[in-house]
Every structure is written in C-alpha cells, then in structure tokens.
Amino acid sequence: MFNFILFGPPGSGKGTQSEKLIAKYGLKHLSTGDLLRNEICLQTPLGKEAQSFMDKGQLVPDEVVIGMISSALDTNQGAKGFLFDGFPRTSAQARALDNLLELKKAPIIVMLALEVSEEELVKRLLKRGQTSGRSDDNNENVIRARIIEYHAKTAVVADHYKAFDKVVMVKGEGTINEIFDRLCEEIDKRAEKITG
Ligand code: B4P
C-alpha cells in the first residue's frame, strides 16, 4: 500500500492537487473537509456539530474526525493506498492515524507539505468564497482564524513526521500544473523504492 499525507495551511491547494493525484495514482482520497461537508449537507447530528466549529474557523473535535477516518478505512479495505488530505490536523489525530495504519501494516510513506504565503492563502480563499457557497470562505476574519488555528494546532503535526524523516516541503505557489509536477516527482522517487 502507498499511503501519504498532503499537508499545508487552509487554501494551500490540498484539495486541488489531491484530485489530480488520485486520478494519476489510483489512490483512495480521504479528505476530512469533504467528509464533514457531506455530513453537513445531509444534516446529520455529526454534521450539525461540525458546522458550528467550521463556521468559526475552528477545528472540529478530534474524536469526531478520528472516528470518521477509522470508518472510512474500514469501508475501503481493498484500496491500493490512501491520500490523506487535511488529516491529521492535530498531534492526537497523527497518533491515532499511526495506530490505525499499524494495524494494516501500511504506514505513511511521506508527508508532502505545501508552502504558501499567508497573503496568497487569504487571496485564494476569498476568491473561492465568491463562488463556492462555503461559509468559511467568504469572511476574511474566519479565514484568518483558520490560519491562526493552523499555526496553533496543526503546524506541529509536521514535527511528528519529521521525527521519522518523512516530511518533504514543496513550494505551493506557481501554476496548478507546476505544483502537481513537483508533487509527482517526490511521489515517484518513493514509489520506486517501494516497488523496487
Ligand atoms: P478543508 O476542507 O481541509 O480545506 P481547506 O483547508 O480550506 O483547503 P485546501 O488546502 O484543500 O485548499 P484548496 O485546494 O481547496 O478544511 C475546511 C475546514 O474543515 C477546516 O477549517 C476545519 O474546520 C474542518 N476540518 C477539516 N479537516 C479537519 C480535521 N482533520 N480536524 C479538524 N477539523 C477539520 O484551494 C483553495 C483555493 O485555492 C481554491 O479555490 C483553488 O482553486 C485555489 N488554488 C489552488 N491552487 C492554486 C494555485 N496554484 N494558484 C492559484 N489558486 C490556487
């Protein structure tokens, strides 16, 4: 199995690049943001709880997100590998993911971390907010709160994987295709090692 994490602040292009990467490598895409928005759309109790956090730019509680990922792993037993997008976002989520993958004897191969300046992040998210209908994208204060939350709780997740020498920083500015090529180059190096 080839499992990796696409990491970076809100608006760094995780969702955008994930779509292209899963098409190229045939992996199962697990985006906690998408899973949460689906729950909101269905108006489930979990979705209603999540919405109150997301509307303020805060992270959804760990137990909710970890439970969602655990059941997504269970329902995709035959997958060739997983691309984790927007997960883990806290140290507790990183430890939980390691434990879940340990059971499958299929650890994270690499964390690809997109680097984008704060002004570019805000600009991209405000632009998406004009058309996406996402309530967390059309208010600059909420966008800035998400970036603060990222620095306070999520940036440390990279340290967790750095300790295992699994983090690669990738420049997340430029055209979508340029960034995609940079990511593929890093994946291909590691995929070769796995397949020999
Ligand atoms: P997410 O859905 O994960 O999304 P995101 O951080 O907003 O954005 P992403 O990085 O995927 O950006 P995208 O490619 O779309 O999170 C939303 C919320 O869900 C969180 O704030 C949190 O509340 C909750 N949540 C999710 N996971 C959680 C977890 N594990 N624990 C707790 N809470 C969780 O790109 C953004 C825009 O930029 C797009 O419009 C795109 O077109 C544009 N763009 C992309 N690449 C570009 C480029 N190269 N140049 C110009 N524009 C570009």
Q: pLDDT tens across 12-21, in order?
A: 999 999 999 9
Tokens of 187: 């994946």
- pLDDT tens profile 94-147: 999 999 999 888 999 999 999 999 999 999 999 999 998 888 998 999 999 999
Contact indicator for 165, 110 with CB cutoff of 8 Å: no
Burial class (CB in 10 A: 0-12, 13-18, 19+), 117: exposed
The pLDDT value recorded for residue 194 is 61
The answer on pLDDT for 196 being more than 60 is: no
Q: What separation in Å is there between the alpha carbon of 196 and the centre of ligand 1?
A: 34
- Ligand 1 binding pocket mutation candidate from 5, 6, 7, 14 (most atoms within 8 A of CB): 14
Q: Is the peptide bond before 88 cis (omega within 30 degrees of 0)?
A: yes
Q: List Cβ neighbours of 73 (8 Å cut-off, separation of 6 or more).
A: 30, 82, 100, 104
Q: Which of 5, 32, 41, 55 to mutate to test the pocket of ligand 1 (most atoms within 8 A of CB)?
A: 32
Please tell me the distance between residue 151's alpha carbon and the centre of ligand 1 in angstroms.
15
Spacing, Cα 40 to ligand 1 middle (Å): 16
